Amino acid sequence: MTKPLTLRAPAPAAAPGPAGGSGPQRSAPRRPRRAPALLSRAAVTGLLGLAALYTLLPMLWLLLSSTKSRQDLFGTNGFAPGHEFALLDNLGHLFRTDHGIYLRWIANTVLYAGGGALLATVFAVAAGYAFDKLAFPLKEKLFGFVLLGVMVPGTALAIPLYLLAARVGLVNTFAGVFLPGLVFPFGVYLARVFSAAYVPDEVLEAARMDGAGEFRAFCRIALPMLAPAFVTIFLFQFTQIWNSFFLPLVMLSDKDLFPVNLGLYVWYSSALSQGHPQDYLLAVVGSLVSVAPLVVLFLMLQRFWKSGMTAGAVK
């Protein structure tokens, strides 16, 4: 009995190797994709240079203008030095004007910004820690209201705050400007993020097992761990209160209570509307002096600020 024939498919021919023999064919290596032009090193460097110029040129103009006399201020180019170095004379005139009213404005601003930012940071860090580590009813819904407060700009609240202050008799008072600075919703949000990154739950649990209450655990254990967060939130709120303008504008009418920004605005408006060029020079020199505390504060606390800004970036 004959066996049936079975047809087999021919085996595929092996591709010739690099030396002409048979072997698997290697695919050609892919060429690396070129980075887009906007992400190239030169483009990024150029954008950073433009940002630096945008930031530093106003400061350079302010510094050069503060060294000029009144005649040179209006008779020379803004970025050209004056014929005489008059910075010391301008500073003396600034501090003597109106019986030293500028020094009082600086002192008011230090109280508004320094005291307000310190208390606001304590409240924000405590609230952020509570939102992160404690369990209480409606916690997430309350935190949603905090986030809603972050999205509302401060200028939109100036008029409602003025109306509330008028009801309780705080218009044209120190408290009318100081108390709103104690509320910092963005600081509460940052404090919760920092608490989740810096304070381990295991450490707090061990403290509770050793008999520490919640307040003691926060003050003795969590708060030292949150030192970078504390400095970061303090700098944010200090800068915000120091640069605040619209709320003091609608709340205050007494010159002795003005912060420095509002006082400089009064001098600048006087120079434009009443034709007092000496007030324009006072506004320029006063602006330079008002920037100096912010620069010094950031330089002193930049180590804590940098570590706080990178919290949670590396795990």
Instruction: Give the torsion sign (CA, 171, 174, 179, 184).
Output: positive
Q: Where do the domains of the chain lie?
A: 89-309
Instruction: Give the three-state DSSP class for 200.
Output: coil
Helices (H), the chain: 41-66, 70-75, 87-96, 101-110, 116-133, 139-151, 158-168, 174-178, 185-198, 201-209, 214-217, 223-225, 227-242, 246-251, 260-273, 277-309
Q: What's the whole-model pTM score?
A: 0.80
10 Å CB burial of residue 93 (0-12, 13-18, 19+) is middle
Range 89-309 has CATH code 2.30.30.110: no
Between CA 107 and CA 255 the distance in angstroms is 13
pLDDT tens-place values along the chain, 315 residues long: 444 544 454 555 554 545 444 455 555 556 656 556 556 788 888 888 999 999 889 888 988 888 888 888 887 887 887 778 888 898 999 999 989 999 999 999 999 999 999 999 999 999 999 999 998 899 999 999 999 989 988 888 899 999 999 999 999 999 999 999 999 999 999 999 999 988 999 999 998 888 888 899 999 999 999 988 899 999 999 999 999 999 999 999 999 999 999 999 999 888 877 767 778 889 999 999 999 888 888 888 777 666 555 554 444
